[in-house]
A and B are shown apart, each in its own frame.
Chain A
Amino acid sequence: MKKVVTTFDSSKIVPNQTVVKRPIIKKDRNTLHYHLMLMPGIILLFLFSIVPMFGVIIAFKDFNPGLGIFNSEWIGLENFRFLFNLPDFVTISRNTLLIAVAKIIVNLVVALCFSLLLNEVRARLFKRSVQTIIYLPHFLSWVILAGIVIDLLSVDGIINQILIFFGADPIMFLASTSWFPFIVVVSDVWKEFGFNTIIYLAALTGISPVLYESAVMDGATRWQQIRYITIPALKPTVVLLATLSLGSVLNAGFDQIFNLYNPIVYETGDIIDTYVYRAGLVNAQFELATAVGLLKSVISFFLIIISYFLASRFANYRIF
């Protein structure tokens, strides 16, 4: 404040220039308030996001809880060497990628088809009611939904009763390595497809009705309207979502799989995040779990950066 006032006195400015100068005093005072507003959040982020980041040095140490993080012995890349030689490492990487990619593709396609169908319906109230119902599972936790899924698919669950009714043998869905990834993808679609339609429906409302009117004038059938107007109009949205989902190919969904899986299906159902949990917090192999977690964090970080770069380059997308 004081400094600005002296500038005013010393530089003998003509009146219309003081008008220009005045906002600068205000800006300095505002900046102080801006820092104040940001302070609590920044401190909390520092304590709970930045501080744990230093903990990743455990991945390069022979961690001894008695000595603590900083006094444990450095062993370089030994933990990573051990990790890469682990047969589990190939399994969990493969499962993570397969499940995550399958989820991304199926969710994209199902949500797209469903929005196209919903868009064909004119009745407003009907549309809204359907939307309300299909969004609901998104807001329920995986604990609840997995509880329901496990009950439905259990040996004496309703699905197996239907199978028996039609003369088929009951299937132990959640104890079968071939069924498990399939169930994971289907139940994920159940939870999320409704919510994923929101973005397509918004893009669909953005299409000018004039296009459809002129198409009708030219005698276009309904299918042709979808084929030549609706789908091309949705293309940028689809491309954008597909690009952004690149950042999540290492996230196969911890909450879901953790609540659905069991040791029998580790071979096809164990993913990086569930492995980190078991190695670290159940078996107390802190270094190994941290190394796996760090590897995942670093790869994900670069994938997200690449996907944002591609999205901003080709789809003009900016998050802020």
Chain B
Amino acid sequence: MVDYTIIAFLVIIALLCIAPIWYTVAVSFSEKSAVAGGLVTWRPVQFTLSAYETLLSDGSFFRAFGVSVERVILGGGLNFILTVLMAYPLSRSSKQFKMRNIYMWFIIFTMLFSGGLIPLFLTIESYGLLDTIWALVLPGAVPVFNVILLLNFFRAIPKELDEAADMDGAGPWYKLFRIYLPLSVPALATITLFSVVGHWNSFFDGMIFMTQAENYPLQTYIQQLVVQTDISNLTTEELKMIAQMSNKTLNAAKIVISMIPILIVYPFVQRYFIHGIMLGSVKE
């Protein structure tokens, strides 16, 4: 009896969790009038693809989508390479690599302290990176937290393997690419997921570093056109009018399309990240 109560409770919570997302999907496939009339609940009413058809002809949406894909590939790739290259030397003990602790404190310091928003903005501006894809990619190029995750994972790899490789005359590059990387797939999948999702989801850098709307990545585009509405000086009646005029189905369709890449990647990496996340947390 207790078991069934618990199961029922968990099911309800899980459904509540997914319901808002499900509702948005339902809205995106419904007829405009049905949405405005408040008829849509858990399934599309008067099923139609018209919102998606309108979206297909919207060039700026797909340009923003393209900018996001570009930053994910460039930024995610750069994150991956730099994380791997930094984690390996830092996973050596300070006996093997004397300067290790100095480097370590340096990167920890950059993680704990920051100049803040304005100095970062002025720096990017002075480098002349505004309105370029590099403004979205370079400031976060070294994900320090991921470096720490991966170096902890490297340290858990048995020393004997390392010593055997030394005996056979393997150099650091060979050891990193032929021994450490192949043994670290769960950790690499986790950090790649983190960095790709982070790049796909971030909107703020696009908003401050891009002055032209045509350079916006997708999340910034959605933020500016769907989410941001200044309702400060409006009455309830006016708000109602705006709500009815605004195209809810089209906005829902935009949200759904922007979720798709995450929903595609998610099931594949899910089995890794639960294990991967524990790497950086409680240890012996």
Residues of A bordering B, CB below 8 Å = 23, 26-27, 29-31, 33-35, 37-38, 40-42, 44-45, 47-56, 58, 69, 114, 117-118, 120-121, 126, 129-130, 132-137, 139-144, 146-152, 154-156, 158, 161, 172, 174-175, 190, 194, 198-199, 202-203, 222, 236-237, 240, 254-255, 258-259, 262-264, 273, 276-277, 280-281, 286, 289-290, 293-294, 296-298, 300-301, 304-305, 316-320
Contacts and interface: CB of A to CB of B under 8 A. Distances in A.
Interface string B164-192: 00100001110010000000000000000
A304 B282 contact: no
Contact of B17 (A42, A190, A262, A300): A190
Contacts of B116: 52, 55-56, 276, 289-290, 293-294, 296-297
A151 B24 contact: yes
Interface of B: 2-3, 6-7, 9-11, 13-14, 17-18, 20-21, 23-24, 27, 36, 38, 41, 82, 85-86, 88-90, 92, 96-100, 103-104, 106-108, 110, 112-123, 127, 138-142, 144, 147-148, 151-152, 166, 171-173, 176, 197, 200-204, 208, 219-220, 222-223, 226-232, 236, 239-240, 243-244, 248, 251-252, 255, 258-259, 262, 266-267, 270, 274, 277-278, 280-284
Contacts of A133: 14, 17-18
Contact of A140 (B113, B262, B280): B262
A155 B240 contact: yes
A interface, over-half SS: helix
A133 B280 CA distance: 23
A233 B209 CA distance: 47
Nearest to B18: A133
Contact of A121 (B3, B97, B122, B200): B3
Nearest to B194: A139
A304 B113 CA distance: 10
Contact of A34 (B38, B92, B280): B92
Given A44-B138, A202-B274, A262-B232, 19 more contacts: A23-B166, A33-B171, A34-B89, A42-B107, A44-B141, A48-B120, A48-B123, A55-B119, A55-B120, A117-B6, A118-B10, A141-B202, A141-B203, A143-B222, A150-B227, A152-B23, A154-B243, A276-B116, A320-B90
Contacts of B243: 154-156
Given A137-B17, A141-B203, A152-B23, A277 B117 contact: yes
B266 to A, nearest CB: 6
